[in-house]
Structure 1
Amino acid sequence: MTYHIARRIFSTYTVILLVVLICANLVAGCSRKPAKSSPKNSQSQKKESQALKKLQSDIESIIKEYEKIYLMQTAPPPKAPQAEKQQQSGNQGKSQEQQKPDSGREGSKKEGGEQDQQQSSQNQDQTAPQPDWPKLEKDIAAIHEQWNEFQSEATKSGATTEMINEFSKILNQLTITLTRQELYEGLLTVNELYGKTIDFEKLFKIKSPPEAKNIIYYGRMAVYKILNNDDIGASEAINNAHISWENVKSQVEDANEAAKVQFSLDELSQSITEKDPNLIKIKAQIAQKNVQDVIKSMEKNKKD
């Protein structure tokens, strides 16, 4: 009798213990669920930065100013037939004038030729299109002001000291190239500054992947370098543009737009191999437009 009572008591305690353990596990499981969703919550807490948008947009405008003059110098459109005839006529006139005998100038022919070459070089420098340096100075000064205002916002959003210092360093380098009126170096530097704004995008709420703008950044770099006869630098840059596109391609919903970007990047790569300035210029413009269209579509389709 006593044995049966003890057995019942033991069974009862066992059941109670199992129930307590099950309840404890359920409570622990419920308490862990919010922890799993915390990354999602932190992501949704990110806000858009109007200051960053303005900064990036104004840097884009400066790039266009530099790029316009750079392409006029390195990839000018073919001359009109009438202009070529006038130039040939002028050259023939100079040739006939030089063929006239002049014993008084025979002794100084070499010196005169050197002076003509120097004058021709000076004329070429004067006729080559130049940027509006005073306007660029104002535009770059405005970037300095915007950057000063944006730094605190970037830091609060998680920007590292290295990110802040790197952007400041490149902005200072851009200003130095302005002082020296270095077109090519300034163009590369302002594009590099644009690339750094893409890093800051990762700290804020955005409607398109930052990697998409890296396609534009690397594509520009490839064009600028190949037009300056930097084959290795251009090859590396266009390869990076393709890598960035591969990281973005799967996120593009419109198959037609994705195909256009792919074809235009392939053709830009081919034009860089061909090394024809105007072909490169045309293919670069098409590729950049296609990427920008994809970015706009992604931003439009992104739900808040």
Structure 2
Amino acid sequence: MKRLKIYILLALILLVFIHGTGCSQFFRRPREQNQQQQQQQKKDPPKSLLSMEEQTDSIIKQIQNIKEQRQKIEKQQAQDNGLAQKTEQQGQQEQQEKEGQESEKQGQQKKQGQGEGQQEQGKQQSRQQKKPEIDWTGFDTKIQALHSQWNSFEPQAKRDGAGNRLISDFEVQLDALTRQVTARNESQTLLAANKLYQYFPKFLNLYKHHAPPECKEVKYYVQQVILYGQEDDWENAEQLLPDIRDAWERAKGKMQTPDKNLNEKIDYAVDDFIRVVGQKDLVLVKLKADILLKNLQTIK
């Protein structure tokens, strides 16, 4: 009798397990369909939001491009200075070898050397004057546009479900960016612009989208890692690496028709980027970041 009760109990447990598994599989597909329906019911993102994202991204790219151009010019100047020093040393050696010659000839050589030195100095000054500078007047125009577009988007964002905290945080950071542009502070403007960029994925999640907004979240973290790397602050840079992987995993989870080959490429690109950040090599970090961001842009 006891055995019979045990068999009945085991049978009931097995039945409950099978029933639970079947129900979970049964309800899983309707949940996925419900998520797709909710996405389809969302409105297209307002033009003012898309324009703000483009303006902010433009500020970041312009400053980074100018910084890279300056680095190339400085590298070329360093090479030119090294060549000039080498030429000067060779000239001094030749003069020492000709010490026994007439003083008049030595004087002519000295004048010639001084003339060549002045010409080289003039060339260097000319190259220094050609270093690119930030178009702050253009940035002032972009800031004015950002405030105008925010004034247009803010009430709509509230109606479409944006929380008070998100709206407040965005306004605080927009004001911070404005102050840095007004102060003509290049490094702080770059940092403030990227911090502002982190809010756009959150707003975009309120609307219909093809590529998940979390892809832009990955972009924000990658850019922030580069900014930390440029300041040789690798400790803070490495702290963002789990956020990059987490944002990318969430992005994949939202894809309605994922491209498996592309996602696999991005998986490896994320791994490569994280690996080179650990090596603290800014050149490699920028190279791997460029590959990762280009792959993210191709998501549809």
TM-score by length of 2: 0.67
Count of residues in correspondence between the two structures:
234
Question: C-alpha distance in 2, partners of 1:276/1:244?
Answer: 23
Q: What does 1:192-207 align with in structure 2 at a 5 Å threshold?
A: 192-207=195-210
Quick one: distance in 2 between partners of 1:134 and 1:87?
34
User: What is the rounded CA distance, in whole Å, between the counterparts of 1:248 and 1:191 in structure 2?
Assistant: 20
Alpha-carbon spacing, 1:56–1:155, altered in 2? closer, same or farther (3 Å): same
Counterpart in the other structure of 1:19: none
* Equivalent of residue 286 in structure 1, options 274, 277, 291: 291
The residue that corresponds to 1:155 in the other structure is: 158
Measured in 1, the distance between the counterparts of 2:196 and 2:266 equals: 24
Cα distance in 2 for partners of 1:286, 1:40 equals 30
Aligned twin of 1:137: 140
Instruction: Compare 170-179 and 201-210 and name the one that shifted more.
Output: 201-210
Percent identity at matched positions?
28
Q: For 1:243, what is the secondary structure of its paired residue?
A: helix
Q: Is the 8 A contact 1:216 1:288 kept in 2?
A: yes
Q: What's the RMSD between the two structures over aligned residues?
A: 3.3
- The equivalences for 1:113-262 within 5 A come to 129-250=132-253, 251=255, 253-262=258-267
Q: Does 1:90 align with 2:84?
A: yes
- 8 A contact 1:70–1:183 mirrored in 2: no
The answer to whether the 8 A contact 2:217-2:247 is kept is yes
Stretches of structure 1 lacking an aligned partner (at least 5 in a row): 1-36, 101-122, 298-304
Greater C-alpha Rg? 1
Matched residues in 2 for 1:196 and 1:40: separation? 24
Q: Deviation string for 1:76-126 (max 9, x for gaps)? A: 48956xx6663223234677999x9xxxxxxxxxxxxxxxxxxxxxx8997
Query: 1:241-293 CA deviation, whole Å, 9 max, x = no partner?
Result: 11111222343622211121111122222222233332222111111001111
Distance 1:174 1:95 in 2: 50
Are residue 268 (structure 1) and residue 268 (structure 2) matched? no
Q: Kindly indicate whether the alpha-carbon contact (under 8 Å) linking 1:76 and 1:278 is maintained by their aligned counterparts in 2.
A: no
TM-score (norm 1): 0.66
Q: Which residue of 2 aligns with 1:46?
A: 42
Residue 22 (structure 1) aligns with:
none
1:67 matched to which residue of 2?
64
